[in-house]
Amino acid sequence: MRDSHRPRQDAERDPLSAGAPAGRRPRLDDVAAAAGVSTATVSLVLRGVAGPSAATRERVLDEASRLGYRPDRAASLLASRRSRLIGVVMDIANPFHAQLVEDVQEAAEHQGYDVVLSAVTRGRDERRAIETLLDSRCEALVLLGPLAPADQLAALDRQLPVVAVGRPVPSAEVDVIRAADDEGVALAVDHLAGLGHRNITYVDGGRGVMAALRRRGYHRAMRTHGLGDLIRVIGGGNTEESGATAAHALLGVDPRPTAVLTFNDRAAMGLLDALIRADVDVPGAMSVVGYDDSPFSRLAHIELTTVSQNIPELTEHAVAAVIERLDGGRTDHREVVVRPRLVVRGTTAPPPDQAVRAPA
């Protein structure tokens, strides 16, 4: 006849049935009872504080593991009056932000902090995203490409530490971590000029400080290479649609540019799609360079030459800035400018006339 009771080995695998009443998560006193020590001793062991013997530590850790004990983080933080939460505002449509978030999360956890994300969407603006993080008791904010004016960011920083990533803030009343955008665009122009291109067009990123810096980098680099009379900036933006619109404008220019540099990778993708549909060979007839080194730029059927903003270094500095303010007592504000780098792939080549004259 089958035993109607559950086998003992199943009970041993179920932490709720092995030391804590059913339906309740194991507590500190459950571990203490199972290990035959006081709750104070268990607390010392789990916090890694000196005092208990090696044998006692091993026994406590074994029982905690067997019971499936997990510290009540919420209660601990409530007692310390700290949340240890870093709020991050990101644009959900921006793949570059997604890469930043992944690295921020990892760096924050390494420092003993958790990350709370709040997204900017078509129906949810940056102000609302920030309010959500404030309501969640975040201790600091990391704003990816913030849109708010400098005075609003400064006012926010007076409430809690604010780090702006990817965008210059002229007032410097918040911490700023950004890439040298003008230098990044100059690297792209240097690359194209080095291949022999002269007719190099820039697809602009619209309004904003970041767009102005990249546009300035293009102008300066073109003049450096003696191409000031060939400077051409056409309207664009930061989306695939803006890149496609720019491509249609370029196709109507005579002569067409032999190389195009876009504000970001998303615009480059829209540009590439429109060029392919118009049977324009890339890079044979026209070279294309993006900006951001987004994941899709590395796909084998795209292989976009682009500018990397050095995400690991950006996020390392951003989290370090937060920790310095929260745990180190730093009160001054600082700006860290990270050097970008060019990533050469398959969408750039010498211009058509030089390719034809190239020696065998």
pLDDT, tens digit (0-9, with 9 covering 90-100), for 86-140: 999 999 888 889 889 999 999 999 888 999 999 999 899 999 999 999 998 999 9
One domain for residues 230 and 334: no
Provide the domain count of the chain. 3
Class of residue 123 by CB neighbours under 10 A (exposed 0-12, middle 13-18, buried 19+):
exposed
Range of the domain at 275: 181-305+344-357
Is residue 2 a part of any domain in this protein? no
Query: Does residue 262 surpass a pLDDT of 70?
Result: yes
CA angle 281-284-290, nearest 5°? 80
One domain for residues 201 and 299: yes
One domain for residues 173 and 94: yes
Strands 232-234 and 200-203: parallel
Q: What is the pLDDT of residue 340?
A: 96
One domain for residues 240 and 133: no
One domain for residues 259 and 349: yes
Domain of 48, CATH number, reads 1.10.260.40
One domain for residues 320 and 351: no
pLDDT in tens, 315-349: 999 999 999 999 999 999 999 999 999 999 999 99
One domain for residues 259 and 195: yes
Domain of 174, CATH number, reads 3.40.50.2300
Is residue 229 a part of any domain in this protein? yes
% of the chain at pLDDT higher than 70: 88
One domain for residues 264 and 322: no
One domain for residues 193 and 300: yes
One domain for residues 331 and 288: no
User: Which ranges of the chain does DSSP label H, i.e. alpha helix?
Assistant: 8-13, 28-35, 39-46, 54-67, 73-80, 95-110, 126-135, 150-157, 181-195, 209-224, 240-251, 265-277, 311-326, 352-357
pLDDT in tens, 174-228: 999 999 999 999 999 999 999 999 999 999 998 888 899 999 999 999 999 999 9
pTM of the entire structure? Answer: 0.74
Q: What is the pLDDT of residue 359?
A: 40
